[in-house]
Amino acid sequence: MSEAGTEIGSFSGVVKDGLLAETADQRELREFWEDFSVYHGTSRKDALKIKEEGFSVDKKSYSWEDRDFVRGQLEKRGVEVDAYRNNSKSSFFVDASIVNTTRYALMGPENTRISLYPKVHNLVETMELEKSKGVQVDESDYQRALDIKKKMLEDIYIHRPALLKLRKNTEAFKQLVRDNFNDQFYKLMFDYETFKDFRDLFLTEYGESGKSRVKAFFRQMFFNKMITSDLKANDFEVIDGEEFDNFSELAKDYAEIRDLIFGDEQRQPPELVNCLTDIVHYDFGDLNGVLGLCNFYEISPEVGKQLYIRAVELKKSR
């Protein structure tokens, strides 16, 4: 930032009645940035833990020892293990799009849904097949695999979507900009005069619609950006529960369908919820798909059929 520049949010303003007052233009720019945040879609359980403890690149929401055990057991059996999230550091992605991050939250944490649970599910099935054929399987290894699978299932069952909001006025956000953009872009975001000149160019070119175009520009720039440093607990706000369910039209629609279909059924794997939501909204998705997911997540076929019937009835009523 230039020596003459003023950081946005710290305007020099004008003196009125002995007090420092913002000009109308300064207030407009401040309010623009107060409305700008980036979000991370996740599970309520993980969001509350990060809000309490902060985020560290050296921690994961599951045990690295469990991950390495499952990988090692599969590789010993000749099963090819993909490299998805197998690095030794955690990653944390944020996005300025409410729609994108809401969808991510609705699908649940990738580390469980895509990475670890399918692997340990595969491992347990492989071990049980070996035992049925008379192959010697270490009982302690089998029991550990079952325990890991049980922990993963419990996390998947209780998944409830949440957002972590990282506001622009935090030092963590400034570090995010430094890590992902050059000095010129940093100045554009945090220097008052530079941003005002940029905004005015849009207003000159597009008139009043220039304001929304500026917002769209910055939201596009913050598509799926990775945070590579630790974050403090007070860098975040948690959006969960009813607040999340009413945060956007997408979240509101999802919550309504979820509550009508699942009712008192507390086991709500996000893939199954999304499958049933698709049945309500679109012409794809069938009973076999629902039963396949129920089998994968160890929910009885009887429950699966009831959920499917409710989804079809809800679709007809709309």
What pLDDT was estimated at residue 8?
Answer: 55
pLDDT for res 230? 84
Question: Tokens in use for 187?
Answer: 């100045």
Q: How many CB atoms lie within 10 A of CB 224?
A: 12
Q: Which residues of the chain have pLDDT under 50?
A: 1-4, 10-19, 84-85
- Give the angle subtended at the CA of 234 by the CAs of 243 and 222, to the nearest 5°: 70
Q: How many domains is the chain built from?
A: 1
311 within some domain: yes
Question: Which tokens hold the place of 111?
Answer: 């580390």
DSSP string, the chain: --TT--BTT----EEETTEEE--HHHHHHHHHHHT-EEEEEEEHHHHHHHHHH-B-TT--SS-HHHHHHHHHHHHHTT-----TT-SSS--EEEBS-HHHHHHHHHH--HIIIIIIHHHHHHHHHHHHHHHHTT----HHHHHHHHHHHHHHHHHHHT--EEEEEEETTSHHHHHHHHHHS-HHHHHHHHBHHHHHHHHHHHHHHHTTHHHHHHHHHHHHHTSSEEE-S-B-GGGEEEE-HHHHHTTSHHHHHHHHHHHHHHTT-----HHHHHHHHHHHHSS---HHHHHHHHHHTT--HHHHHHHHHHHHHHHHH-
Q: Judging by beta carbons within 10 Å of its beta carbon (0-12, 13-18, 19+), is residue 93 exposed, middle or buried? A: middle
* Listed residue (37, 173, 180) closest to 95, CA to CA: 37
Give the per-residue pLDDT at 312: 94
Examine residue 283 and state whether it is found in any structural domain, yes or no. yes
Alpha carbon 215 to chain centroid, angstroms: 22
Give the per-residue pLDDT at 285: 74
Q: Is residue 294 part of a domain?
A: yes
Residue 2: predicted pLDDT: 42
**What residues are paired with 115 via a beta bridge?**
none
Specify if 187 maps to a domain: no
Would you state the pLDDT for residue 12? 46
Domain carrying residue 284:
248-317
Residue the block writes with tokens 């100045």: 187
In a domain, 276, yes or no: yes
Whether residue 1 contacts residue 7, with contact meaning beta carbons closer than 8 Å, is answered with: yes
Position 1 scores a pLDDT of 43
Closest-CA residue to 40 (of 114, 90, 115): 90
Residue 21 confidence (pLDDT): 64
Per-residue pLDDT tens over the stretch 177-228: 999 999 999 999 888 889 989 999 999 999 989 989 998 999 999 999 988 8
133 vs 129: CA distance, rounded Å: 6
pTM of the model: 0.82
Give 7's strand partners: 191
Instruction: Give the other-Cβ count within 10 Å of 17's Cβ.
Output: 5
Does a structural domain hold residue 233? no
Residue 300 has what pLDDT?
96
Residue 296 lies in a domain: yes
Identify whether 43 is part of a domain.
Answer: no
